[in-house]
Structure formats: C-alpha cells, structure tokens
Amino acid sequence: MAYFKVAFGFLVTAFLSAAVSLAHPGLGFGWGGVGAPGGQSGAPSYRLFPQFYQFSCPQAEDIVMSVLEKAIAKEPRMAASLLRLHFHDCFVQGCDASILLDNSATIVSEKNSLPNRNSVRGFEVIDEIKARLEEACPQTVSCADILAMAARGSTVLSGGPSWELPLGRRDSKTASLITSNNNIPPPNSTLQNLITLFQRQGLDEVDLVALSGQPIVPRGHTIGVARCATFKQRLYNQNGNNLPDQTLERTYYYGLKSVCPKSGGDNNISPLDFGSPVKFDNLYFKLILWGKGLLNSDEVLLTGNVGNTMELVKAYAKDENLFFKQFAKSMIKMGNISPLTGFNGEVRKNCRLVN
C-alpha cells in the first residue's frame, strides 16, 4: 500500500510539473543550460524560443497582428516607428522594454534622452496591444516580447521578410537615461563610431549595414522619414566650412534645402526613401549609391573606408532577397541582446509602469 501511495504522489508531482512547464516553458528545467542569456551563475538559465507562449497564450501573435494591421492601415509610417522602438530599447539595457517606462518616483524615463525626445513614438500602439493581451492572458506576455513581435509584424505588413521569432523576454524594473544617450548612434555618426556602437552590442558590420536598411540607426530608413535637424549639417556645414556635403547628388541637395532651411524648421520631415517611404524594400541602398542617402550615417556606409560596408551596400542594392535574408538574421541577433529571462525582471501589467 505504501508503494502505491509513493507512486501516486510521484505521478501527481510529475503532472503538476508538466502543467507548469506547458504554461511557462523552460521554468525550473534549465532550458539552455547555465550561462544562457539572462541566467545567473550557478543557477538554471533560460533561452528564448519561438513557442514560449504556445500554451500560456496561444493567441498572442494574432492579437499583436490585429492591432498592428489597424494602426498601420491608419498611418503607414507607424511601422517604421515601431521598428525603431525595438532598436532603441535593445541598445540600452538589452531588449527589456525599458524604453516604455514613464517618469516616476524611481524611474528617469529614457523617453527624454537626446535620441528619443520628440522622436520615438508608437507607445499608444504598444499600450493597445498590451491591453488586449491582458484581457486574453493576464500578466503573461511581456512588454519586451510585444516590442519584438511588433517589430516583426511591422516589417511583414510593410512588405518585408518574416522570421521565426524567439520569445520569453521579461521586463526590466529600471531604465537608463545616460545609457540611452551614450549607446544609440546619432545621425551624424562616422562609420567607425557606428561600428563601435554596434560591436558594443555584439553586432558586426554585416548587421550594421543590414539593419541600416530599416528605421533603427536611428532615423527611419527603408520605411521612414527623418527630421530636418538630423540632416541639416550636411546641407550647410558638413565639415565646419559652411559648405554642403559634396557627396550629395545636386538635384537631391536642392530638394532637401527646400524642406530644411538653414535656420528653423528643425521638425520638418523628409522621406528617407523618396521612391517608397512606407514600403520595405532595398531602394535605400540604391539611393546611397546614387548620392541620395539622407543622413551622414547613411552616406558613410559607402564612403567611410572602414571594413566591407561599401561592398555590402552594393550587394544589397543589387539583390533584394539577399538583403531580406540578412535583415531577418540580424533582427533575430539584435533581439537577443541581453534579455531578462527566467525569474529575472517581471511581466508588467502596464508597459509604462513597473508593477
């Protein structure tokens, strides 16, 4: 009789453990082994994987896409903004949704950093996605994963590639205004500065060029626009001599001057891709070759004389499918920058506030 009690107890324990595993895959089972991203030395650690919400919130991606479809149909430029949010999040503390936190007694918001202030947007779309997910699966899907899913969905809805998206990120309880100011590449970056800032995140020059083909570095690219303030220097004082950047194609230069005066007009906007500003394609790289890259950090990919960026620009301009494939690989790589996993961080109820 004692044997059957022990056996029955074992079966109950096994069943409960399996149930927990289905709802929160990886918890308690050391998925990925010690040392995987987000883990702690000597404790189980957890990797991101695409089926993370398969049992705990199987409708998560459908909910995300339904909100995105509505938002992007209403304003196609929103796709670029949501892609950029994911980038500006990952380059600060890792992909942990710190960029979504508002100012509070304990938080100095990253929204007020120089790269983000009066620039990043799309927060209301993330709020709507989160609210819908909280109704369906309370406190299950993290804000960090919402940003990653929104970035992929925005790419797809704009005509770009899809990819198998690893999930399981958790949300930070902190933000860093200083790191946001220091880690996000400014639009007037030199090529060496861009490479250095990407290498700091474990990304190489192939990732740099591929990800420059969309709105993360940091301005809107394949599907986006830029503010006059981000390219004014190229028009009027590129090298401190009160002359324009000589690499700008002449007709393009005069067109930019018409929307970006020497004084004032800093918030005037110009498409980064005049041919297809709301479509995801490889025209961005062709424009660079034609002398029509809008920002200094565009043009230096071709003329910076560091590494193989020139060859990559030419390759992506020639072969859109090659660009799409590498873009997807680089987005997966970027999305794996220092995620919080397992029992680190939290799943916020409201993306703007810590629990």
> Tokens 């981000």 appear where?
230
Nearest to 260 by CA among 219, 240, 231, 297: 231
Rounded CA-CA distance 296/309 in Å is 14
Active site residue 86: no
Token pair recorded at residue 252: 């393009």
Rounded CA-CA distance 24/341 in Å is 11
DSSP 171: B
Q: Do the annotations mark residue 273 as ligand-binding?
A: yes
Q: Do the annotations mark residue 92 as ligand-binding?
A: yes
> Tokens 């060029």 appear where?
209
Q: Do the annotations mark residue 299 as ligand-binding?
A: no
Q: Do the annotations mark residue 281 as ligand-binding?
A: yes
Phi and psi based region of residue 331 (left: phi greater than 0; alpha: psi -120 to 50; beta: remaining): alpha
Rounded CA-CA distance 227/292 in Å is 16
Return all residues near 180 (Cβ < 8 A) that are at least 6 apart.
88, 92, 99, 110, 113, 115, 116
Q: How many CA atoms lie within 13 A of 111 on its CB side?
A: 14
Q: Do the annotations mark residue 13 as ligand-binding?
A: no
Q: Do the annotations mark residue 56 as ligand-binding?
A: no
Rounded CA-CA distance 7/308 in Å is 63
Q: Do the annotations mark residue 298 as ligand-binding?
A: no
Rounded CA-CA distance 272/310 in Å is 19
Q: Do the annotations mark residue 98 as ligand-binding?
A: yes
Q: Do the annotations mark residue 106 as ligand-binding?
A: no
Q: Do the annotations mark residue 164 as ligand-binding?
A: no
CB 80 within 8 A of CB 220: yes
Max CA separation in the chain (angstroms): 93
| Catalytic position from the list 88, 169, 232, 292 | 88
Rounded CA-CA distance 89/258 in Å is 33
Return all residues near 297 (Cβ < 8 A) that are at least 6 apart.
185, 186, 187, 188, 189, 194, 212, 217, 219
Q: Do the annotations mark residue 185 as ligand-binding?
A: yes
Q: Which residues carry out catalysis?
A: 88
Q: Which residues line the annotated binding site for Ca(2+)?
A: 89, 92, 94, 96, 98, 110, 222, 273, 281
Q: Which residues line the annotated binding site for substrate?
A: 185
Q: Which residues line the annotated binding site?
A: 89, 92, 94, 96, 98, 110, 185, 221-222, 273, 281
